[in-house]
């Protein structure tokens, strides 16, 4: 586990004024990463300010299209809790939360489906297609993509992922499309459930054997001291995260984010990344530069046995 300083946002923004020589060096630095990751699946969970800030939303779309243009296979997963809450308020429907989760009755579920599939998903598809991509919006209900089950009867139609069937994603990727996935799943009887987007991204990344799964959030990454940005953990492993959680260093709102990373890596993803979506082009900084940014989570290294050493 290592720490390194957080990239300053003003410095990132200032790179827009690069000289031609600096731009050329940046492209040369990116080349080996492009060659390494070409053909790889990268699952990106969009959340936080990157969903609501127009400039960040635009740069996110630019990054995703660039990834596809240089040969990676991005898959976008999105939630939409704030947007669901806003529409419920406009409709005059009160929302009840239990342990941070929205109690979802049949009416609330209808609103969630309308917002996620009909509004947020369509906005992302439009932004990507405006940048020249061929994006396709689908729901977890489509082609049996996400099999869900109720988490708790007290929460209503809030679900957990119990299975995924990624055939439709493979077909879309094969045809050079960018899948944009709304996190509504269904059970074997056709009952729909609203599912946490981090959980969906983890499950899909594992099933797709993604090279990386990236969670865009409103935090810099995992901090050893939440009040000191310089204590960011640049790289860690599943066992180290479990130790930090046992010691109480990981707590509160970081617990589900860290668990999503652990679940993704344990289920087959190459690595999981928590990135600050408030930084323009943060995806490119993480994937195509030597320094990287945010927190990277990998599986525990395989033990080396003496008879394997030559």
Domain contains 254:
yes
User: In the predicted model, what is the mean pLDDT of the chain?
Assistant: 88
Q: How confident is the model at residue 99 (pLDDT cuts 50, 70, 90)?
A: confident
Token duo for residue 121: 């998903």
**Are 46 and 77 within 8 A, CB to CB?**
yes
Domain contains 306:
no
Alpha-helical (H) ranges within the chain are 9-14, 20-37, 49-52, 54-69, 81-90, 106-113, 121-130, 167-174, 197-207, 238-246, 254-266, 282-288
CA atoms of 103 and 214, how far apart (whole Å)? 27
Rounded mean pLDDT, 27-31: 84
**Are 80 and 87 within 8 A, CB to CB?**
no
Asked if residue 110 has pLDDT above 50, the reply is yes
Domain contains 305:
no
Q: How confident is the model at residue 22 (pLDDT cuts 50, 70, 90)?
A: low
Q: Among positive and negative, which fits the CA dihedral 258, 264, 269, 275?
A: negative
Instruction: Give tens-digit pLDDT for 118-144.
Output: 999 999 999 999 998 899 999 999 999
Q: Are strands 272-276 and 212-217 parallel, antiparallel or unpaired?
A: parallel
| DSSP summary character for residue 144 | G
Rounded mean pLDDT, 148-153: 93
Give 169 or 153, the one with higher predicted confidence: 169
**Are 48 and 60 within 8 A, CB to CB?**
no
Q: Which pLDDT belongs to residue 268?
A: 93
Instruction: Give tens-digit pLDDT for 210-267.
Output: 999 999 988 888 888 877 888 889 899 999 999 998 888 888 888 888 999 999 999 9
| Separation in Å, CA 2 to CA 177, 215, 295 | 37, 20, 10
Asked if residue 13 has pLDDT above 60, the reply is no
Token duo for residue 219: 């935090």
Burial pattern 121-130, b for ≥16 Cβ within 10 A else e, equals bebbbebbee
Q: Which pLDDT belongs to residue 300?
A: 81
Q: Which pLDDT belongs to residue 123?
A: 96
CA atoms of 213 and 209, how far apart (whole Å)? 10
| DSSP summary character for residue 232 | B
Asked if residue 310 has pLDDT above 70, the reply is no
Rounded mean pLDDT, 171-197: 96
Q: Which pLDDT belongs to residue 237?
A: 93
What does the longest C-alpha to C-alpha distance in the chain come to? 70
Give 13 or 281, the one with higher predicted confidence: 281
Dihedral pair phi/psi, residue 141, rounded to 5°? -75, -20
Plot region of 302 (φ>0 → left; ψ -120 to 50 → alpha; else → beta): beta
Q: Which pLDDT belongs to residue 23?
A: 67
Domain contains 308:
no
Domain contains 283:
yes
Token duo for residue 129: 């297609």
Q: Which pLDDT belongs to residue 175?
A: 95
**Are 29 and 285 within 8 A, CB to CB?**
no
Domain contains 310:
no
CATH code of the domain in which 84 resides: 3.40.1160.10
**Are 240 and 258 within 8 A, CB to CB?**
no
Rounded mean pLDDT, 180-193: 95
Domain contains 55:
yes
- What is the value of pTM for the model shown? 0.88
CA atoms of 83 and 64, how far apart (whole Å)? 22
Domain contains 197:
yes
Query: What does the angle CA 45 – CA 46 – CA 49 come to, to the nearest 5 degrees?
Result: 145
Rounded mean pLDDT, 164-172: 96
Rounded mean pLDDT, 75-81: 94
Count of structural domains, the chain: 1
Q: Residue 240 belongs to what domain range?
A: 2-299
Token duo for residue 156: 């209503």
Asked if residue 206 has pLDDT above 70, the reply is yes
Using DSSP, state whether 136 is helix, strand or coil: strand
Query: What does the angle CA 73 – CA 49 – CA 210 come to, to the nearest 5 degrees?
Result: 20
Dihedral pair phi/psi, residue 189, rounded to 5°? -100, 5
Q: Which pLDDT belongs to residue 104?
A: 93
Q: How confident is the model at residue 308 (pLDDT cuts 50, 70, 90)?
A: very low
Asked if residue 86 has pLDDT above 60, the reply is yes
How large a percentage of the chain has pLDDT more than 70?
90
Asked if residue 25 has pLDDT above 90, the reply is no
Give 21 or 207, the one with higher predicted confidence: 207
């Amino acid at each position: 586990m290592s720490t390194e300083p957080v990239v300053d946002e003003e410095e990132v923004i200032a790179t827009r004024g690069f000289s031609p020589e600096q731009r050329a060096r940046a492209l040369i630095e990116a080349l080996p990463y492009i060659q390494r990751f070409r053909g790889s699946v990268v699952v990106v969970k969009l959340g936080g300010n990157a969903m609501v800030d127009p400039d960040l939303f635009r740069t996110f779309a630019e990054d995703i299209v660039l990834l596809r243009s240089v040969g990676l296979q991005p898959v976008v997963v999105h939630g939409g809790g704030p947007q669901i809450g806003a529409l419920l308020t406009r409709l005059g429907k009160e929302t009840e939360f239990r342990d941070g989760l929205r109690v979802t009755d049949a009416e609330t579920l209808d609103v969630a489906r309308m917002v996620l599939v009909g509004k947020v998903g369509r906005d992302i598809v439009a932004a990507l297609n405006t940048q020249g991509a061929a994006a396709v919006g689908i729901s977890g209900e489509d082609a049996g993509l996400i099999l869900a089950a109720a988490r708790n009867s007290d929460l209503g139609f809030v679900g957990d992922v119990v299975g995924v069937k990624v055939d439709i994603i493979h077909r879309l990727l094969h045809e050079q499309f960018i899948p944009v996935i709304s996190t509504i799943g269904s059970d074997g009887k056709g009952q729909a459930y609203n599912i946490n987007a981090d959980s969906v991204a983890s499950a899909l990344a594992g099933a797709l054997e993604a090279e990386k799964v990236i969670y865009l959030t409103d935090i810099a990454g995992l901090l050893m001291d939440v009040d000191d940005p310089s204590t960011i953990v640049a790289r860690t492993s599943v066992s180290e995260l479990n130790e930090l959680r046992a010691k109480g260093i990981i707590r509160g709102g970081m617990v589900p984010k860290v668990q999503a990373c652990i679940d993704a890596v344990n289920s087959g993803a190459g690595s999981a990344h928590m990135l600050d979506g408030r930084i323009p082009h943060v995806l490119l900084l993480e994937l195509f530069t030597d320094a990287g940014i945010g927190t990277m989570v990998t599986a525990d290294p395989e033990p080396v046995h003496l008879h394997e050493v030559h």
